[in-house]
């Protein structure tokens, strides 16, 4: 079973509580916490945290049975003010960082993000190209299906990379009983996958109230390029 499905199943058991308007800022400053596995299908841990949304972080690293080998491991850790994860060269990286309920750990967030506009992830480094899937969940009470919305993207290897994910980019699951309610978010999950030997360090996870606009210099250069192109077209003989 995938980590995404584990998170969704866990959210199905969430209870409905009063929401509170809030922004999010997790700097991973209150570690440490560590999981490591060389056995299929996964290792997981719920780490209480006064800083994290909902009072804790859920970490899980998966290994497919077809590639599991003794001594070939993946690990995830919260330490030195960052969330680190890495895989052995022989094992593809699959890791999940979640807040709220995942695989029946934790509790619903009941966070009102309606005044926020995007998630922001500040990476210290990304060692190889990765796939990132962000998921949010709104619960509808015990015994009922939750509403799930997600967004997936490719991430390049780099140092000091900032990724902004607008809430408007999330797509509601076709099986939802109703759209995700950004005024009542009960779980947030980030699943990252990549090749063997891949790793990353996430310095902060936060929300922002406005999606950053392109820098003025970039806009100016783009406009200048359009103007030059138009001038060349006007001078071109028929």
> What is the mean predicted confidence (pLDDT) over 204-230?
62
Q: Does domain 3-211 have CATH number 2.60.120?
A: yes
* 227 pLDDT higher than 60: no
Joined together, the tokens standing for residue 59 give 């970490």
10 Å Cβ neighbour count for 74?
25
pLDDT at site 123: 97
Q: What percent of the chain has pLDDT over 90?
A: 59
In which residue are the tokens 């997600």 written? 150
* Residue 207 to residues 52, 80, 128, Cα–Cα distance (Å): 13, 22, 25
Q: What angle do CA 198, 199, 201 make, to 5 degrees?
A: 160
d(CA 15, CA 6) in angstroms, rounded, equals 17
Higher pLDDT, 220 or 183: 183
Q: Picking from 39-48, 198-207, 214-223, which range would have the lowest pLDDT averaged per residue?
A: 214-223
> How is the chain split into domains, by residue range?
3-211
pTM (predicted TM-score): 0.81
Higher pLDDT, 214 or 85: 85
Sign of CA dihedral 206, 207, 209, 210: positive
d(CA 215, CA 222) in angstroms, rounded, equals 11
Displacement of CA 216 from its chain's centroid (Å): 28
**pLDDT tens profile 83-136:** 999 999 989 999 999 999 876 777 889 999 999 999 999 999 999 999 999 999
pLDDT at site 69: 86
pLDDT at site 38: 85
């Amino acid at each position: 079973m995938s980590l995404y499905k584990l998170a969704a199943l866990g959210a199905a058991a969430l209870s409905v509580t009063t929401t509170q308007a809030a922004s999010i800022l997790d700097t991973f400053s209150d570690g440490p916490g560590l999981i490591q596995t060389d056995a299929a299908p996964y290792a997981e841990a719920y780490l209480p945290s006064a800083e994290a949304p909902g009072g804790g972080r859920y970490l899980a690293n998966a290994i497919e049975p077809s590639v599991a080998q003794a001594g070939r491991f993946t690990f995830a850790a919260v330490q030195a003010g960052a969330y680190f994860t890495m895989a052995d060269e022989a094992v593809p990286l699959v890791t999940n960082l979640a807040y709220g309920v995942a695989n029946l750990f934790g509790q619903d967030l009941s966070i009102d993000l309606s005044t926020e506009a995007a998630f922001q992830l500040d990476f210290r480094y990304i060692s190889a190209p990765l796939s990132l899937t962000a998921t949010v969940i709104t619960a509808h009470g015990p015994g009922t299906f939750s509403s799930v919305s997600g967004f997936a993207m490719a991430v390049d290897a780099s140092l000091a990379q900032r990724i902004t994910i607008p809430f408007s980019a999330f797509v509601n699951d076709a099986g939802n009983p109703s759209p995700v309610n950004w005024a009542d978010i009960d779980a947030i999950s980030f699943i990252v996958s990549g090749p063997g030997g891949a790793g990353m360090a996430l310095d902060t996870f936060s929300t922002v109230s406005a999606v950053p606009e392109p820098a003025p210099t970039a806009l100016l250069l783009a406009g200048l390029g359009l103007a030059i192109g138009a001038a060349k077209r006007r001078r071109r003989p028929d």
